Homo-oligomer: A and B are copies of this chain.
Amino acid sequence: MPELPFTLDQLRILKAIAAEGSFKKAADLLYVTQPAVSLQIQNLEKQLEITIFDRGGRKALLTEAGRLLLEYCERILNQCDEACKAIEDLNSLKGGTLVIGASQTTGTYLMPRMIGLFRQKYPEVSVQLQVHSTRRTGWSVANGQIDLAIIGGQLPSDLENLLQVIPYATDELALVLPPKHQLSSKKELLKEDLYKLNFVTLDSQSTTRKVVDKLLKDSGLDIQRLKIEMELNSLEAIKNAVQSGLGASFLPVVSIERELAAGTIHKAFVADLEVERELKLITNPSRYTSRASEVFKKNILPQFASLESPLRQT
């Protein structure tokens, strides 16, 4: 690693003298005394073993070596200015990238709206959304590839300690039926009724599926007895299957708002059964938090948070 034969200050002085044609004027311009300028140029000349200025006459004139150096000097100083500008933009949220993680459901139905709101406020910050499994999302947050994420499932316990996990909203997993289904007309179903249904579910790897299974089991149901017509790996596919009358399913309400409004899917109520999961914001407290990430957490998320969420208070 080579020693640096000059400093940025020296280059700045060089440039000023070249522009003003005088050591004294350069000194005034830079708000220092004339000897300071003289000494710095002398150091520069000594270190590079060149003569930079002809100081004979009325004004200081560049030598060939001086002109050569000045060229580089201007380029270098321009780069410095650019760097400052870029950093400033980053600080004032006029640049940079926010990387957000999400699981399938939130990534598909919730994040687009949040990101839309964020970009409306900070159009110059670009946002990257990474949709992965809860597990992988957690790891990405842990090692800094993702600034913040929203997950709906359970983190591995090692990650849970490492990361900051803030519940910020609940997501109801509604029992949905085809509108023409015979049970759709009933005001309220009983738990027993569930055993009569044919289910179209997410595949068993999926976070949402695991959550649903766990919640049903917790509420006393024997999930082995539930009839599973088919397993699909896409919520959209399941929605289509339900709409086509192929069976029932538990789906996040956020994913079926449109269909409920249009009446193409029926949401049923089951007595004594509340299938709800917490959506949680996860961040890495031991890592640098970008301004963009901060702002997202403080200003954007609360608008989507439920009343009990700690985020509401901020």
Contacts and interface: CB of A to CB of B under 8 A. Distances in A.
Contact of A51 (B6, B144, B288): B288
Given A54-B144, A90-B50, A30 B1 contact: yes
A134 B96 CA distance: 63
Contacts of A57: 286
Contacts of A84: 2, 5, 48
B5 A7 contact: no
Contacts of A64: 90, 96-97, 290
Nearest to A19: B1
Contacts of A232: none
Contact of A68 (B51, B69, B79, B86): B86
Contact of A79 (B29, B54, B76, B81): B76
Interface string A95-109: 011000000000000
A57 B75 CA distance: 37
A36 to B, nearest CB: 14
Given A2-B81, A64-B97, A72-B82, A87 B50 contact: yes
A113 B5 CA distance: 39
A56 B90 contact: no
B4 A16 contact: no
B68 A73 contact: no
Copies assembled: 2
A110 interface: no
A80 interface: yes
A80 B144 contact: no
Interface in A61-76: 61, 63-65, 68-69, 72-73, 75-76
A86 B64 CA distance: 12
A230 interface: no
A87 B75 contact: no
A123 B69 CA distance: 22
A288 B63 contact: yes
Contact of A12 (B1, B12, B51): B1
A29 B2 CA distance: 10
A82 B56 CA distance: 29
A83 to B, nearest CB: 3
Contacts of A50: 87, 90-91
A68 B96 CA distance: 9
Nearest to A75: B79
A69 B83 CA distance: 6
A8 interface: yes
28 contacts: A1-B30, A2-B81, A4-B8, A4-B12, A5-B84, A6-B80, A7-B8, A8-B8, A49-B91, A51-B288, A56-B287, A61-B144, A63-B288, A63-B290, A64-B90, A64-B96, A64-B97, A65-B290, A68-B86, A68-B96, A69-B83, A69-B87, A72-B82, A72-B83, A73-B83, A75-B79, A76-B76, A76-B83
| CB-CB nearest 6 A-B residue pairs | A72-B83, A63-B288, A56-B286, A51-B288, A76-B79, A54-B288
